Amino acid sequence: MKEVRTRYAPSPTGYMHIGNLRTALYEYLVAKVNNGKFVLRIEDTDQSRYVKGAVDVVYSTLKIAGIEHDEGPDIGGEYGPYVQSQRKDLYLPYAKQLIDKGKAYYCLCTRERLDEMRRSLESENLPPKYDKCCMSLSRVELEEKLSSGYPYVIRQKMPEKGITSYEDAVYGTISIDNKELDDQILIKSDGLPTYNFANVIDDHLMKITHVVRGSEYLTSTPKYNLLYEAFGWDIPVYIHLPLINKPGGGKLSKRTGDPSFEDLIEMGYMAEAVVNYVALLGWSPGDDREFFSLESLCREFNIKGISKSPAIFDIKKLTWMNGEYIRKLSLDKFHQLALPYYKKASLTGQLNLIKLSEVLQKRTETFGTIPENIDFLAKLPDYDTSLYIHKKMKTNEENSLVSLKAIIPIMESIDKWENDVLFEKLAALAREMGVKNGVILWPLRTALSGKPVSPGGGTELAEIMGREETLERINIGIDKLKKQLSS
């Protein structure tokens, strides 16, 4: 039995969208579940689309996602080089082999003629398709022009009759009427191969057995297979993946603001959660399980679980899943991951940051939301006293002023500055005053945060801030309420 070999072959265009990540992940899983090899190949023959630094984005994304390649440009391997531009001298001889076999031909048409032909077809509402004009060139005429350096491309000669069919592991039998196939260019005028041609040559030379790609390539695959057949090579197993759409319909697009993997990490999503979620975009384990580590996916992934129906990328579902991952972290790990976000919020070492992490971990769904949720800890905002009015808590500006004044001596007398002790003392104060806990605790929370919503209750915030800052903010709240009520 052949060793299973898959490859992820991105073009260095500077952006790794969710569909790219899913393709890489599934290629990796197909290899690992079969004890095979996962190859990274950079397809950079289209230099017009090359973006500086894009290859680094590929490396970074795979590393953060935990997807480790067995062969690639950075680590080498038996079938290198793994960058197509470094393999450019390989392709022309194979194209000439096809010419000798009668499966390809030289095309000397000018850009002007091709543009005119395309316009003519469009005016008749016909799909753009080359008219095989150059197949009628005589050998003498062709050799004369080629020897004089006349620019040319090499086109694949497609059959004009019959049907080309193949089996896809997800979609089953796919058939295309050959008259719909265009004589695609194999070698461009600059001598470099097109993506389609280089893809086939490299997959064969690198002994790729399984090809994973999006369902948009379903109808172009016969072109690849005709090349394999022309050379007499084995055709790989094709695994076409369903589209990934937005909840309201339509494909994901960077232009419309849909996040890339890099964006999601920058927004504070955990890589493990994103990989878990992306694995489920078009694949099911066959039961209702939703949480998978990359290690468990390498054991349980099965091609049979891939769906034909479009998957829906729902950022709300990903956010929920990310929150579940956050809550499974140890407190130490959460604290370590949260520290850079505390720095963004300009928090000082005078705060009890461990306690802050303990409070936040239960309430955080993405790390990126932390700075905006805790900015009040660095500086009390200039808030309006209407925040003290809370219907459910039965508080207003008058009784909030009474509560804050009563809290001061209690806070000053507490030796052990911890949430449990603070809460117990203030709950006792509420009983003594004959009011619900909220009448005491809501004004405290408002005075300490200056915001309508804050992570943690009043006593939790007090423990985080410490005695001095807590008392200072309560006094600010008292002054604000006095001024408002006297006006």
pLDDT of 438 strictly over 80: yes
**Is the pLDDT confidence value at 255 over 90?**
no
Average pLDDT over residues 234-262: 88
Nearest of 6, 201, 7 to residue 95 by alpha carbon? 201
pLDDT of residue 44: 86
- Domain assignment present for residue 156? The answer is yes
* Domain identity same for 117 and 220: yes
Residue 177, SS3 per DSSP? strand
**Which domain does 99 fall in, by range?**
87-241
Structural domain contains residue 321: no
118 and 230 housed in the same domain: yes
The domain spanning residue 162 has which CATH number? 3.40.50.620
- What single-letter amino acid sits at 443? P
Q: What gap in Å lies between CA 234 and CA 176, rounded to an integer? A: 20
Residue 300 buriedness (CB in 10 A; 0-12 / 13-18 / 19+)? middle
User: From CA 486, how far away is CA 14, in angstroms rounded?
Assistant: 61
Cα 11 from Cα 199, distance rounded (Å): 11
What residues have CB less than 8 Å from 201, skipping those under 6 apart? 90, 91, 94, 193
Known catalytic membership, residue 254: yes
Residues 184 and 124 both lie in one domain: yes
Same domain for 96 and 229, yes or no, is: yes
Domain boundary among 357, 378, 399: 378
Could you tell me if 299 and 276 lie in one domain? yes
In a domain, 317, yes or no: no
| DSSP per-residue codes, 407-462 | HHHHHHH-SS--HHHHHHHHHHHHHHHTS-HHHHHHHHHHHHH-SS--SS-HHHHH
375 CB burial (10 A radius; 0-12, 13-18, 19+): middle
Single-letter code of the amino acid located at 239: I
> Both 230 and 252 in a single domain?
no
Rounded distance, CA 32 to CA 4, Å?
A: 9
Q: Is residue 324 part of a domain?
A: no
pLDDT score, position 54: 86
The reply to whether 297 and 345 lie within a common domain is: no
The reported pLDDT for the residue numbered 48 is 67
Q: Is the pLDDT of residue 392 over 70?
A: yes
Query: Could you tell me if residue 322 is inside a domain?
Result: no
What is the per-residue pLDDT for 365? Answer: 98
Domain end among 207, 241, 275: 241
Q: Is there a single domain that holds both residue 138 and residue 220?
A: yes
- Weakest mean pLDDT among 248-262, 265-279, 335-349: 248-262
What gap in Å lies between CA 267 and CA 334, rounded to an integer?
16
**Phi, psi values for residue 358, rounded to 5°:** -60, -40
- Of 63, 101, 179, 254, the catalytic one is 254
- Per-residue pLDDT tens for 440-486? 999 999 999 999 999 999 999 999 999 999 999 999 999 999 999 99
Inside any domain, residue 32: yes
Tokens encoding 376 = 């009040």
- For position 406, which CATH number holds? 1.10.10.350
User: Domains in the chain: how many in total?
Assistant: 4
Both tokens of residue 235? 């055709």
Residue 318 lies in a domain: no
Mean pLDDT of 424-440: 97
Q: Give me the residue label for tokens 């769906």.
A: 307
At 216-230, the pLDDT tens digits run 999 999 999 999 999
Q: Indicate whether 13 and 146 sit together in one domain.
A: no
Whether residues 188 and 92 share a domain: the answer is yes
Measured between alpha carbons, how far is 460 from 33 in angstroms, rounded to an integer? 47
pLDDT confidence band for 254 (50 / 70 / 90): confident
- The secondary structure of 195-257, three-state, reads HHHHHHHHHHHCCCCEEEEEHHHCCCHHHHHHHHHHHCCCCCEEEEECCEECCCCCECCHHHC
Q: Give the C-alpha separation, 294 to 278, whole Å.
A: 11
450 near 363, Cβ under 8 Å? no
Q: Is residue 319 part of a domain?
A: no
**Domain boundary residue, one of 378, 394, 417:** 378
Q: Can you give the pTM of this predicted structure?
A: 0.91
**Same domain for 201 and 97:** yes
Identify the pLDDT of residue 436.
Answer: 96
Confidence of residue 249 (pLDDT cuts 50, 70, 90): confident
Q: Are residues 131 and 34 in the same domain?
A: no
